[in-house]
């Protein structure tokens, strides 16, 4: 197991660079808050048989999944931006040590330092029961695990 050095407190120029990266990533998202249902459905004239229907359903499911993932990421980007404004950005929520600049450049929405994140992932791998869903934040019940 490698020992990871704790990060240094972010400088003003690093914070500005990270804020720019957050804005850039949010502006690069494909889906917006406003989604029209026809974006996820084929016109009726293109649904002539069961194969077309199945293909349309599959495509719609994929598009909805991508949209939901982007909306979830957009929420995380906005929360990170709020933490910058409050002066709380770049501090680990577990150990309250600074999160390294390189980690934040790679993952601007990071809320844990690399040491705490690795520990959380080890704990998650050991215990499936009680694990949180990454996209919904809901606890996974034991009946769903089976």
Give pLDDT tens digits for 22-47: 999 998 888 765 555 555 555 666 66
- Is it the case that residue 73 has pLDDT exceeding 50? yes
Q: Name every residue whose Cβ is closer than 8 Å to that of residue 42 and which is 6 or more positions away in sequence.
A: 52, 56, 59
How far is the C-alpha of 62 from the C-alpha of 64, rounded, in Å? 5
Question: What is the pLDDT, as a whole number, of residue 116?
Answer: 92
Q: Name every residue whose Cβ is closer than 8 Å to that of residue 44 and which is 6 or more positions away in sequence.
A: none
Find out whether 101 and 7 touch, Cβ atoms under 8 Å.
yes
Element (H, E) at 98: none
Give pLDDT tens digits for 83-112: 999 999 999 999 999 999 999 999 999 999
């Amino acid at each position: 197991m490698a020992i990871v050095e704790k990060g240094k407190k972010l400088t003003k120029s690093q914070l500005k660079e990270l804020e720019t990266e957050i804005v850039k990533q949010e502006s690069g998202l494909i889906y917006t808050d406003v989604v029209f249902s026809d974006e996820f459905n084929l016109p009726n004239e293109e649904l002539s048989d069961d194969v077309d229907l199945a293909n349309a359903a599959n495509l719609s499911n994929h598009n909805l999944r991508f949209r939901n993932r982007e909306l979830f990421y957009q929420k995380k980007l906005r929360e990170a931006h709020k933490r910058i404004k409050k002066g709380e950005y770049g501090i680990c929520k577990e150990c309250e040590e600074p999160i390294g600049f390189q980690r934040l450049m790679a993952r601007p929405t990071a809320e844990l330092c690399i040491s705490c994140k690795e520990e959380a992932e080890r704990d998650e791998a050991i215990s499936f029961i009680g694990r949180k869903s990454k996209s919904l934040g809901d606890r996974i019940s034991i009946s769903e695990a089976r």
